[in-house]
Amino acid sequence: MIEENCETFVSDCHVRAAVELINHTWDPVILSALRSGPTRRKDLLHRIAGVSDKVMTESLRRLSSRGLVTKTADGSRRDTAVYELTGLGASLTGGPLAQLATWAAENQAALSATS
Amino acid sequence: MIEENCETFVSDCHVRAAVELINHTWDPVILSALRSGPTRRKDLLHRIAGVSDKVMTESLRRLSSRGLVTKTADGSRRDTAVYELTGLGASLTGGPLAQLATWAAENQAALSATS
DNA sequence: CCGGGTTCCCACCGTTCGGTAGGAACAGGC
DNA sequence: GCCTGTTCCTACCGAACGGTGGGAACCCGG
């Protein structure tokens, strides 16, 4: 599906690929939340109000499978699982995602006015 | 829904708001396609392979209602309708969206490897 | 007048996504 | 042992999204 567009609009294909990384409702929020460092699942759920348990699991798995987040457990214990940004994830959150947040903050007035 | 997160994660709220502007499959592609200047609907459909007529209409309407795109018609004629980026839309496509595309291009190998 | 091209709308279908509810597995404190 | 907290998983449901098919309105060239 993406490849078709690559034939016509190469740069757009990249945009598409990138947007698909974050186009799930909570993924960007979780990524941003992880910028403060390795975080446990419980703390993520606590900090991000409104996200359900299932969605958090799904998002973390999705982000993990895409190489943006790693799950690190101390030994085999379950309740010590810690999620952390990978280099790729950090470059995404620190670069484009931060840009997006900055842009949104600067244009907040215009956005809320039109919505 | 967004406001709840704002209480806890202010910057994340902005990310959310921005992502919601582009989290529809074809919206970013259409926005990027419009960077080359005012474009007619037909040309957009022709250039972006894979997008359906309905989705194009929906996306254009959505982008228009959010102030990212304007629809300009020469008089009352229907087939001269031209879509164009607004200042807001241009700042989004030229800034964060371009950043995202650049990032995606740079990390293309890592992305395709993990997917 | 008539056919083709263009814009736009509507109704329907299948898939995906987010949310809820419930439970299993595991560790620690009482 | 028992209860609690935490991490996951598994159904299900409703809503939203993308895609298809069909058609209406409009303009132009034959």
Q: A92-106 pLDDT, tens per residue? A: 998 888 888 888 888
In this complex, the answer to whether residue B41 has its CB under 7 A from any atom of chain C, a nucleic strand, is yes
Across chain A, mean pLDDT equals 81
User: Where in chain B are the domains?
Assistant: 26-114
pLDDT score, position B23: 84
CA distance linking residue B105 with residue B67, whole number of Å = 28
Protein footprint on strand C: which nucleotides are under 7 Å from a CB?
5-11, 17-23, 25-28
- Report whether A41 contacts A81 (CB < 8 A): yes
Residue B95 has pLDDT above 50, yes or no: yes
3-state secondary structure of A39: strand
In this complex, the answer to whether residue A43 has its CB under 7 A from any atom of chain C, a nucleic strand, is no
Which of B5, B13, B63, B69 to mutate: most A Cβ within 10 Å?
A: B5
CA distance linking residue B14 with residue A52, whole number of Å = 20
pLDDT score, position B46: 87
Residue A5 has pLDDT above 80, yes or no: no
pLDDT-derived band at A8, boundaries 50, 70, 90: low
pLDDT score, position A70: 92
Residue A1 has pLDDT above 50, yes or no: no
Top-level CATH class of A25-114?
mainly alpha
Q: Among 3.40.50.720, 2.40.30.10, 1.10.10.10, 1.20.1250.20, what is the CATH number of B26-114? A: 1.10.10.10
pLDDT score, position B104: 86
Which of A2, A47, A97 to mutate: most B Cβ within 10 Å?
A: A97
Residue A74 has pLDDT above 50, yes or no: yes
Reading phi first (left if > 0) and then psi (alpha if -120 to 50, else beta), residue A37 is in left
**For residues A53-71, average pLDDT:** 91
pLDDT score, position B10: 53
How much of chain A, in percent, has pLDDT values that exceed 70?
79
SS3 track for B35-83: HHCCEEHHHHHHHCCCCCHHHHHHHHHHHHHCCCEEEECCCCCCCCCEE
Across chain B, mean pLDDT equals 81
Q: Could you report the per-residue pLDDT of A26-46, keeping only the tens digit for each?
A: 999 899 889 888 999 998 998
What B88-95 contacts at long range (C-beta under 8 Å, 24+ apart), as own/partner pairs, is: B88/A107, B88/A110, B89/B31, B89/B34, B89/B63, B90/B35, B91/A103, B91/A107, B92/A103, B92/A107, B92/B18, B92/B21, B92/B22, B92/B31, B92/B68, B93/B31, B93/B32, B93/B34, B93/B35, B94/B35, B95/A99, B95/A103
Q: Could you report the per-residue pLDDT of B37-85, keeping only the tens digit for each?
A: 899 999 998 888 888 899 999 999 999 988 899 998 766 666 788 999 9
Residue B2 has pLDDT above 60, yes or no: no
Residue A2 has pLDDT above 50, yes or no: no
